[in-house]
Amino acid sequence: MLVHPNEASGIGSSALAVLEPDERNTMNAAVGNSIVLDNLWKTYGSFVAVGGVSLSIEAGKFCTILGPSGSGKTTVLMMLAGFSDPLRGSIRIDGNDVTRLPPQKRDLGVVFQNYALFPHMTVHDNVAFPLKMRGMNAAEINLKCSRMLDTVELGSLSRRYPRELSGGQQQRVALARALVFEPRVLLMDEPLGALDKRLRASLQVELKALQRRMDVTVVYVTHDQEEALTMADQVVIMNGGQIEQCGTADELYDQPMTEFVAGFMGDTNLIEGVVTGKGGDGVTRVEHPTGRAILAQNGPCAVGDQVSVSLRPECVSLEPCKGRLPEEPNAWNGRITNVVSLGDALRYTIVIGENRPTLQIELEAKISRRGAHGSRFSQGEAVRVHWNAADARALARRKR
Amino acid sequence: MSQSARNLACADIGRTESKAHAFRRFRMSSLWLLVPALGFLALFFAYPLTAIVLRSFEGADASMTLEHYEAFFSLPIYMRILWQTIEISLMTTVLCVLVGYPLAYVMANSSPMVRNVMLLMVMLPFMTSVLVRTYGWMVILRPTGLLNHVAELAGLPHFDLLYNRSGMLIGLVYTMVPYVVLTLFSVMRGIDGRLVSVAHSLGAGAWSAFWRVYFPLSLPGVAGASLLVFILSSGFYITPRLMGGDRDQLLASIIAYQVDVLLNFEFASAIAVILLVITLICFGIYARLVGLKQLLTSRT
């Protein structure tokens, strides 16, 4: 078992949990451990589940691994937890190579999607389990358990069995059990997946607060990009067993490096074209097959590349089209084919170049109700569509 | 009781709301489908059982009497056989669980390929007659049989494993183990493997993870299998008769003797009822400890 720095220095680790983060830092107490994955591979027969994943997570950060099902994100987490052995590559936690260490020696908290609470134990016994396994005495176990259960606001339910709790309560028990032994790293596999939307939102906030308070490094696997946006310091997008892109949520949203990332982090319009010029002013010029010109910020592409231009629906502006204005770069004429109310906003579908059905462009625009200058377009109306070059991004298409 | 049993059946068949609903509708219009089964049960189960119970109270001049029960409980020989039956059934149960648990564990936790092969091996004895299998064992275990022949060649001492308690237990355990394996297997398959993974991640080694998580969750299976084996072996006749010694008589042999040789049907009925009561007591204990629901559903 790894020895925590705080245990080695003789400071009661339980006392630290109740201190404010600032106090803990000034005491130079334990913070979450850094994690380094180096060229991890995992195959099942001929299927490559994870193909060369390298990733570095800073100590104390909340890292979300985001990807569709089958992208290898859970496999990465299982290798990190020690439940599955990588074919190649290494895993280092706090600088120590743990690649071949069994799970019980890694000292990580793990929360599964279905909570995996022990059904034959009470809430208290579930939370006490990791402490018992560490050979603590009964008094200490009881103290730590009740403190942890109070933290997740389940103190009054400690005598209940898991089946007598709601989904959200079970989730908290799983969290308490994974954190009670003060691991420096917490691994979570879609922990909120089975809960309803409102509960999920409130647990997201709690989880983030708990992570800050306990100063633990979190690796959180999900397919829900909203969860990634609300909680993560660092987002890793996986697809087909590889990392597509890694960065903060804003970076991924504003500067996606691939079509996949652009489409997975929020909604986007993708317009095909060929790069015809890259200016020193940071503007890339792209030509659509119909000859329409698109100006976009400089993205990962070169002149002559086949690209998809990513344009977020909320970056598209609409104006009433009075008369037939000539089309210009980033200012096209179109017709509204669909209007959907989203409550706070309206989503328009606009078709550009209706006279050439095979090459027509379909764009979505999301216009806030308040910002729409009171104007509202209806289906069939002719509109002028325009956007800023800085809001569009040309992404080289993957060579297949 | 019948209501809750029906609810159980309902819950088991219709796991989802809509299924349960469809099932209820289906049941109302299709009760008549039960008639052949009910008729069969009435004719071959309810009637003989009632007849035996009534007969056990029948005196010489067709009057009601308790004399057969008095005879049974006052003669030390019968009491000794009763305790012997219970003792041997308990020994069989313990041995069966000791043998069957590891087998079921390996089956439930191995690849589908290995599992299917093992399942076939466990099922294979069911496809052969009990009598043939028993004689097979006798050929092996006989004083001049295969085992002793091999032992002689290897310079080992003579094994005395037939016509005594060892022989009876070998025969009983061999016959009952498949029931244990299948019962435990179905319960073990229902245990979420991630619970053991979680136990590891929380610091439990292989041993603690098994004893603190896996084993407690498999206990309903152990209880169910034990109940099954105990009940089956307490009434088992042919194998103990052939492989056991004359000193280790079981109740079933006495019943057969009363019917076959002495033609004392009333006394035989009384012993049969006593055996039935023992079985019901076991059920009662099981229901109190585990709940009958565990016996009817394979899920934990």
pLDDT tens sequence for chain A (400 residues)? 343 443 333 333 333 344 444 434 433 345 678 889 998 999 988 888 898 899 999 888 999 999 988 889 999 999 999 998 999 999 999 888 999 899 988 888 899 888 889 999 999 999 999 999 998 999 999 999 998 898 888 888 889 999 999 888 898 899 899 989 888 899 999 888 777 888 888 888 888 888 888 889 999 998 888 888 888 889 999 998 999 999 998 888 888 888 888 888 888 888 888 888 887 777 888 888 888 888 888 878 888 888 888 999 888 888 887 777 788 888 888 888 998 888 888 889 998 887 777 788 888 888 887 765 556 788 888 888 888 888 888 888 875 4
Dihedral angle over CA of A260, A251, A55, A64, nearest 10: -80
By the 8 A CB rule, do B12 and B23 touch?
A: no
Query: Which chain A residues touch B if contact means CB-CB below 8 Å?
Result: 1, 81-83, 102-104, 106-110, 112, 114, 116, 118-120, 129-130, 133-134, 177-178, 181
Sequential DSSP letters for A324-340: -PPPBTTEEEEEEEEEE
Give tens-digit pLDDT for A246-287.
999 888 888 888 888 888 888 888 888 888 888 777 788 888
Query: Who's near A24: CB < 8 A, 6+ residues apart?
Result: A16, A31, A215
Give the closest residue to A55 by CA, choosing from A265, A219, A253, A215: A219
Q: Which residues pair with A247 in a beta bridge?
A: A235
Distance from chain centroid for Cα B17: 35
Question: Best interface-test mutation with B: which of A112, A122, A170, A181 has the largest number of B CBs within 10 A?
Answer: A112
DSSP state of B58: B
By the 8 A CB rule, do A247 and A66 touch?
A: no
Round to the nearest angstrom and report the end-to-end CA distance of chain B.
21
A133 CB neighbours in chain B (<8 A) are 202-204, 208
Give tens-digit pLDDT for A329-344.
888 888 889 988 888 8
Query: Who's near A185: CB < 8 A, 6+ residues apart?
Result: A32, A33, A35, A93, A107, A108, A109, A216, A217, A218, A219
pTM, 2 dp:
0.74
Q: Closest approach of chain B CAs to the CA of A117, in angstroms?
A: 7
| Cα(B251)–Cα(B84) distance, integer angstroms | 9
Question: Best interface-test mutation with A: which of B111, B187, B196, B198 has the largest number of A CBs within 10 A?
Answer: B198
| Cα(A255)–Cα(A298) distance, integer angstroms | 10
Give the closest residue to A268 by CA, choosing from A288, A252, A279, A282: A252
